[in-house]
Amino acid sequence: MYINIGWLYPDLMNTYGDRGNIIALSYRAKIMGIEPTVNKISINEPADLISKMDIIFMGGAQDKQQEIVNKDLKIKGVYLKKAINDGVPGLYVCGAYQFLGKYYKEANGNIIDGIGVFDLYTESPGPDVPRCIGNIVIESKLFPKIKLVGFENHGGRTYFANKKQAFATVINGYGNNGEDKTEGFFYKNSFGTYLHGPILPKNPELADYLIKKAVEHKMINNVGVGRDRPIKLKRIDNTWENKARDFVISKL
């Protein structure tokens, strides 16, 4: 079995090691017995390529790059919104996460439109208010046995009314806005989060979750595999990943 991993704007949206998420997804999929193909989708690629993806990833960026991507998302955003609404699993970090909401107001007051697939908005309080920077520890009901770790660096504060849609609760750090203890957003099979780090090598359970959802989604839609042929994914030993994560948590 194969999966298509779509990496949106790798040349523009890729900060604080976010590319490690693509490495983790590909590496773990291979061990599980799936053949991954990484498809870089940036400004020069056709928008409908997004419709062929089984997992989508987009990383963070500074405001300048977000302004460039914003223009291109006027077209690609239609395909991205459809993929997310159709349940294609995805991970959207920091600047990418902000794009999925209604808008992002930059520190200088400029408004960057979002594609509005997540019911949220993001505002930067301005250049005089400190950014949310540091290591972060969160807890998510989706992964009840573990704490997840990462690194955040964002000026934008994200808000939404329905707290049940948060990906996680903040144990240590800022998360969505530094006020309500929520971190990220979860909708259909898509995660928005402020966790760089990169998040997937540090928290392999999330990588595996996305891969499993991609397989499920492919089978439901009967693309490439028969519905009647469930495939058994190989389990991966996470001893060293867990030790690394425990070490980070013990330091905070």
Contact residues for ligand GLN, defined by CB under 6 A: 15, 60-63, 66, 94-95, 124, 153-156
**Smaller CB separation from ligand GLN, 135 or 153:** 153
Cβ at position 31, least distance to ligand GLN in Å: 29
Cβ at position 124, least distance to ligand GLN in Å: 6
**Smaller CB separation from ligand GLN, 54 or 123:** 123
**Smaller CB separation from ligand GLN, 88 or 96:** 96
Cβ at position 163, least distance to ligand GLN in Å: 21
Active site residue 132: no
Active site residue 94: yes
**Smaller CB separation from ligand GLN, 66 or 189:** 66
137 and 147 Cβ atoms separated by less than 8 Å: yes
Active-site residue, from 94, 132, 154, 217: 94
Cβ at position 162, least distance to ligand GLN in Å: 22
Residue 235 buriedness (CB in 10 A; 0-12 / 13-18 / 19+): exposed
- Which residues are the active-site residues? 94, 196
